[in-house]
Amino acid sequence: MTHLDGNAIAGVLEQLFGRDLTLASSRCTGCGAMREVADIHVYRSAGIVARCPDCDTVLFRIVEARDRMWLDFRGFSSLQVRS
């Protein structure tokens, strides 16, 4: 399966966090790389899987259902947003 940009899931992220996260900087637990969320690799099928473009570590997973979402943000050691 080919990947999309983090920007492609701007909608899910904004619904979850109440703000645009595509320009937030994230740090990968695998390799420590800092990247804008728009710039990470996203795979969409039944759910969303985001991976680090540098080391392929799974950054987060989101599964959306009709009335709830499941989140697993294991691969982000930090997330920096503009206040």
Partner 1 sequence: MAGTALLGRLTWLVAEVTETVTETPRVRTLILDVDGWPGHRAGQHVDVRLTAEDGYQAERSYSLASAPEDPPALTVERLDDGEVSPYLVDEVVPGDRFELRGPVGGYFVWDADALPEPLLLVAGGSGVVPLMAMLRHRAAAGSTVPAKLLYSSRTYEEVIYREELERLDGRGDGLEIVHTLTRAQPPGWTGHAGRVDVDLLREVSFPARRAPRVFVCGPTSFVEAVAEGLVSLGHRPGRIRTERFGGT
Asked if 8 touches ligand FAD (CB under 6 A), the answer is yes
57 binds, among Zn ion, partner 1, ligand FAD, none (CB under 5 to 8 A by kind): Zn ion
Bridging pattern class, strands 41-44 and 34-36: unpaired
- Side-chain-facing half-sphere of 13: CA atoms under 13 Å: 22
Footprint of partner 1 on residues 10-69 (CB under 8 A)? 10-12, 14-15, 18, 20, 22-23, 36, 38, 44, 64, 66
Please select the residue that binds Zn ion; options are 20, 36, 39, 54, rule is CB under 5 A. Answer: 54
Based on CB atoms, which residue is closest to Zn ion, 31 or 71?
Answer: 31
- Side-chain-facing half-sphere of 44: CA atoms under 13 Å: 9
At a CB cut-off of 8 Å and minimum separation 6, what does 55 contact?
Answer: 28, 30, 31, 33
Size of the site for ligand FAD (CB under 6 A): 2
Asked if 38 touches ligand FAD (CB under 6 A), the answer is no
